[in-house]
Amino acid sequence: ESRYTPVEIEAKWQKAWAEQNLDTTPDDSSKPKFYALSMFPYPSGSLHVGHTRNYVITDVIARLKRMQGYRVLQPMGWDAFGLPAENAAIARNTHPATWTYKNITQMKEQLRPLGLSIDWDRELATCSPDYYRWTQWIFLQFLDSGLAYQKEAAVNWDPVDQTVLANEQVDNEGRSWRSGAKVERKLLRQWFLKITDYAEELLADLDKLTGWPERVKTMQANWIGKSVGAYLEFSIVGMDEKVGVFTTRPDTVYGVTYVVLAPEHPLTPQVTTKERQSAVEKFIEEVSNESELERTAEDKPKRGIPTGGKAINPFTGAEIPILIADYVLYEYGTGAVMGVPAHDTRDFVFAQQNDLPIKTVIIPKGGDADAELTEAYTESGEMVNSDSFDGTPSVKGKEKIIAKAEKEGTGKARVQYRLRDWLISRQRYWGVPIPVIHCDACGAVPVPEQDLPVELPEDVTFSAQGGSPLAKLESWVNVPCPTCGKDAKRETDTMDTFIDSSWYFLRYTDAKNDQQVFDPAKVNDWMPVDQYVGGIEHAILHLLYSRFFTKVLRDRKLLNFDEPFQKLLTQGMVQASAYKNPKTEKYVAPSDIADLDNPQDPETGESLEVFYEKMSKSKYNGVPPEEVTSKYGADTARLFTLFKAPPEKDLEWEGADVEGQFRFLNRVWRLVHEYADQANHKQQSVDAAKLSKPEKELRRAVHTAIQETSEDLDGDYQFNTAVSELMKLSNALGNADDKTSSVYGEGIKTLLLLLAPFAPHIAEELWQMLGHADSILFQSWPQIDQEALVADEITLVIQIMGKTRGTIEVPASSTKAELEQYARDSEVGQRYLEGEMVKKVIVVPGKLINFVVAK
């Protein structure tokens, strides 16, 4: 008897498929296209099954779509720039490129055994000059459209190392991860992309994304943060200047009892009186060390002080104090707010702390305008204490106040977004050089297209002090100005790596083009991505930036669609047991633990706690895919990944559970071999009219399996239930009495076809063993015979007074009256109804009958 030897079989088929180029993207335009994409990995060095879950999900979809008649594009690449490579370079004294490419090779080696049908001809790495040449070219498109600009911006400055730090390099106490110095905020000229120009479209087009999880769309909408309201101007007493505020509640303008500026507001020093000057300066200094999070946290007390200056409410003419406070952010709106303590929670608390008057101007229906408030009334209502507006519903009042302000020239309607322009400058080496040359005479000059790529120089030195090695490399920095030829200097900032990933999905459609960023015909043919699969951690930035890039490139006429990703699946995390010493909070590697059933710290002997946690290096709980593939094979690893949980839910990885999937595949193996051993297994074609009762039942099981798997796969990709259906079908086949029947043959064939996207190797092996010459990978997905689904008989549950007493088989087409008759005539019915008075009969057609008898 032949034994299932997955490792051998899988290697054999992977080789054969590669030789026949089965994974190559077909050019056949007669077929509809399907673009299946996994978020590309960062080449950190090694993969665990948490990463591979993503690729397995995409691969099943890609394989299914091929069988459904699509030409499929499933590419893969590497998000290969970024800080870890640079840190590794410093720590290990290698070049970031060496480290990165070594990791790519390793990770490709890890992916290979999984049998993913990836078109490796289109592989790309964002750190390769062939790729970043076009990243730079796209940057020049942005520059040309006025969408890339430079501006002073606050950065984290390490005064000891004399370098800019990323937010992640600053700890909770505001200290540098490396030098430990207290990080300062410093203004530096930085490059920005004007994503705010697209805020409205990015928000509105979320409605087009019908194949995205609602949760992700909500996160994006909140990030864009649209607020509709008004811009109102308050004159300053004794000055010509006015202070503008943004408010979402213009209807409360009669209740303004003070104005608050952000401490950084340029008007702050001007409105501050002599007496208040030193206090104000001290306060500004204190606030400059607080993070935005601290300043806005709901649970933190709001701090503020008066400036001594006064403003005038344009509606009431009242003089009101001007304060500064930490809760007003300079970057949002105008950096100033009108304080309405009666109707804004923060203002209410702030006014109480600072003894500022609280004036009610909105009341609920039937409310009392003079009642003292114990908290802010933030709902809508009716305007009071507001002159001629008294009695106006507050929602209407918003428009009316804006209309009056417009007429009097003191304000206007305004829409405000929380979204800010994208700061893309990084003072780092391992990224795309910004292709600009700074000339004293000509300003920031774009590097001419024919000079792209601006390549990263290799002969740089990395120092533990950080800072950009590019800025220190004189030979690279000093170049003639492309416009006037005078001495000029290269831009030494590199781009945020999110730029690289904002367009890689476009490049896959024409990955080898060295004349163009991509051929418009190809990008328009393949895009948008039909199914994108990746982690929820990218719900905001990566997806928003990619949508932004797509829209800008559309406006540059480089492509003709509005949105890059039609459907999005955010797969859950994979978790595994992690062992932690509760006293030291340290994780211990399972390999260092003597007895996993009674885990103890090898150093201290203390008992360890065991939790399921997201796989990660730091918790020593990452399971590399080869741990499963080398023992059970890729097909088992794939099935387990898909079966254990629905794709968007977290999955707990239990080594022992994997065995179950392996047993299932062994069962399939035996079934098909037993079937192949029969001399007559080639006799085929089912004659539906001539089937026996058991044959009909088996055939119904076969077609139910087709129906259920197809539904599970086509709807929300419920792979876990689809795999269960396959198990049910294999059980039905195993239990069949007549294994020579044509229906049995149909069942075996169907089982293999349905299994093929999930476990392609075993499906191919058994398929060809049955004598098929063509690969199973391109067979048509099985069709449902609706007739076969119709049941001849159903099982009817018989209940007496709601208590189940037995079941009977009855014709599926029975009427209610017939069902009652069958039930009464049955053995169960006769036994339990004998001598009883039936008062009522309740029939649930197709399911059950309940007799209510007199007590």
Smaller CB distance to ligand ANZ: residue 361 or 671?
Answer: 361
338 contact choice in Zn ion, ligand ANZ, none (CB below 5 to 8 Å, kind-dependent) = ligand ANZ
Shortest Cβ distance from residue 336 to ligand ANZ (Å)? 7
Contacts with ligand ANZ by CB under 6 A lie at: 227, 246-249, 252, 327-329, 332-333, 335, 337-338, 340, 343-344, 416
Shortest Cβ distance from residue 536 to ligand ANZ (Å)? 24
# of chain residues touching Zn ion (CB under 5 A): 6
Burial tier of 422 (Cβ tally within 10 Å: 0-12, 13-18, 19+): buried
Residues 6+ apart with CB under 8 A from 709: 722, 725, 726, 754
Asked if residue 481 binds Zn ion (CB under 5 A), the reply is yes
481 contact choice in ligand ANZ, Zn ion, none (CB below 5 to 8 Å, kind-dependent) = Zn ion
483 contact choice in Zn ion, ligand ANZ, none (CB below 5 to 8 Å, kind-dependent) = Zn ion
Tell which residue, 418, 429, 342, has the closest CA to residue 87: 429
Smaller CB distance to Zn ion: residue 484 or 801?
Answer: 484
Smaller CB distance to Zn ion: residue 128 or 483?
Answer: 483
CA distance 804 to 796: 11
Shortest Cβ distance from residue 439 to Zn ion (Å)? 3
CB 77 within 8 A of CB 38: no
CA distance 395 to 663: 65
Binding-site member from 441, 589, 790, 844 for Zn ion (CB under 5 A):
441
What contacts 24+ positions apart, CB below 8 Å, involve 370-378?
A: 373/342, 373/348, 375/345, 375/348, 376/341, 376/342, 376/343, 376/344, 376/345, 376/347, 376/348, 377/342, 377/343, 378/343, 378/344, 378/345
Tell which residue, 803, 766, 702, 812, has the closest CA to residue 5: 766
Residue type at position 827: E
Smaller CB distance to ligand ANZ: residue 74 or 268?
Answer: 268
Running DSSP on this structure, what letter comes out for residue 208? G
Running DSSP on this structure, what letter comes out for residue 708? H
Smaller CB distance to ligand ANZ: residue 420 or 667?
Answer: 420
Smaller CB distance to ligand ANZ: residue 265 or 490?
Answer: 265
Q: What tokens appear for 377 in the block?
A: 């009334």
Smaller CB distance to Zn ion: residue 378 or 483?
Answer: 483
328 contact choice in ligand ANZ, Zn ion, none (CB below 5 to 8 Å, kind-dependent) = ligand ANZ
Q: Is 617 annotated as a binding residue?
A: yes
Tell which residue, 516, 440, 520, 511, has the closest CA to residue 480: 440
Shortest Cβ distance from residue 249 to ligand ANZ (Å)? 4
Shortest Cβ distance from residue 163 to Zn ion (Å)? 29
Smaller CB distance to ligand ANZ: residue 292 or 657?
Answer: 292
42 contact choice in Zn ion, ligand ANZ, none (CB below 5 to 8 Å, kind-dependent) = none
Q: Report phi then psi at 565, rounded to 5.
A: -125, 110
Asked if residue 228 binds Zn ion (CB under 5 A), the reply is no
Residue type at position 672: V
Q: What tokens appear for 69 in the block?
A: 């008649």
Shortest Cβ distance from residue 654 to ligand ANZ (Å)? 45
Shortest Cβ distance from residue 227 to ligand ANZ (Å)? 3
Q: What tokens appear for 832 in the block?
A: 């339990």
Stretch near Zn ion under the rule CB under 5 A, chosen from 75-83, 438-446, 591-599, 749-757: 438-446
Stretch near Zn ion under the rule CB under 5 A, chosen from 277-285, 477-485, 712-720, 751-759: 477-485
Residues 274 to 313 in contact with Zn ion, rule: CB under 5 A: none
Tell which residue, 491, 398, 397, has the closest CA to residue 439: 491
Asked if residue 852 binds Zn ion (CB under 5 A), the reply is no
Shortest Cβ distance from residue 450 to Zn ion (Å)? 18
Tell which residue, 824, 812, 813, has the closest CA to residue 849: 824
CA atoms within 13 Å, Cβ hemisphere of 517: 23
335 contact choice in ligand ANZ, Zn ion, none (CB below 5 to 8 Å, kind-dependent) = ligand ANZ
**CA separation, residue 227 to residues 250, 346, 416 (Å):** 13, 18, 5
- In 3-state terms the chain splits into helix, strand, coil percentages (rounded to 5) of 40, 20, 40
333 contact choice in Zn ion, ligand ANZ, none (CB below 5 to 8 Å, kind-dependent) = ligand ANZ
Smaller CB distance to Zn ion: residue 187 or 484?
Answer: 484
Report CA dihedral (456, 459, 465, 466) to the nearest 10 degrees.
10
Binding-site member from 60, 280, 439, 639 for Zn ion (CB under 5 A):
439
Smaller CB distance to ligand ANZ: residue 225 or 694?
Answer: 225
227 contact choice in ligand ANZ, Zn ion, none (CB below 5 to 8 Å, kind-dependent) = ligand ANZ
Running DSSP on this structure, what letter comes out for residue 260? E
Smaller CB distance to Zn ion: residue 480 or 582?
Answer: 480
Shortest Cβ distance from residue 193 to Zn ion (Å)? 24
Smaller CB distance to ligand ANZ: residue 341 or 431?
Answer: 341
How many CB atoms are closer than 10 A to CB 19? 8
Between helix 742-755 and helix 693-714 the angle, nearest 10°, is 10
Shortest Cβ distance from residue 480 to Zn ion (Å)? 8
Shortest Cβ distance from residue 344 to ligand ANZ (Å)? 4
484 contact choice in ligand ANZ, Zn ion, none (CB below 5 to 8 Å, kind-dependent) = Zn ion
CA distance 700 to 468: 68
Shortest Cβ distance from residue 335 to ligand ANZ (Å)? 5
442 contact choice in Zn ion, ligand ANZ, none (CB below 5 to 8 Å, kind-dependent) = Zn ion
Binding-site member from 228, 237, 395, 484 for Zn ion (CB under 5 A):
484
545 contact choice in ligand ANZ, Zn ion, none (CB below 5 to 8 Å, kind-dependent) = none
Tell which residue, 684, 648, 755, 667, has the closest CA to residue 216: 648
Residues 6+ apart with CB under 8 A from 681: 675, 745, 770
How many CB atoms are closer than 10 A to CB 80? 26
CB 545 within 8 A of CB 498: yes
Q: What tokens appear for 230 in the block?
A: 């008004």
Shortest Cβ distance from residue 470 to Zn ion (Å)? 21
Tell which residue, 68, 40, 22, 52, has the closest CA to residue 622: 52
439 contact choice in Zn ion, ligand ANZ, none (CB below 5 to 8 Å, kind-dependent) = Zn ion
Asked if residue 483 binds Zn ion (CB under 5 A), the reply is yes
DSSP string, 285-350: HHHHTS-HHHHH-TTSPP-EEEEEEEEE-TTT--EEEEEEETTS-TTSTTSEEEE-TTT-HHHHHH
Residue with tokens 């809760």: 327
727 contact choice in ligand ANZ, Zn ion, none (CB below 5 to 8 Å, kind-dependent) = none
Residue with tokens 């996994």: 38
Smaller CB distance to Zn ion: residue 166 or 442?
Answer: 442
Smaller CB distance to ligand ANZ: residue 89 or 260?
Answer: 260
Shortest Cβ distance from residue 481 to Zn ion (Å)? 3
**Element spanning 396, H or E:** helix 394-408
Binding-site member from 442, 541, 610, 784 for Zn ion (CB under 5 A):
442
430 contact choice in Zn ion, ligand ANZ, none (CB below 5 to 8 Å, kind-dependent) = none
Asked if residue 596 binds Zn ion (CB under 5 A), the reply is no
Stretch near Zn ion under the rule CB under 5 A, chosen from 475-483, 568-576, 617-625, 762-770: 475-483
Binding site residues, as ranges?
617
Contacts with Zn ion by CB under 5 A lie at: 439, 441-442, 481, 483-484
Binding site residues for ATP, as ranges?
617
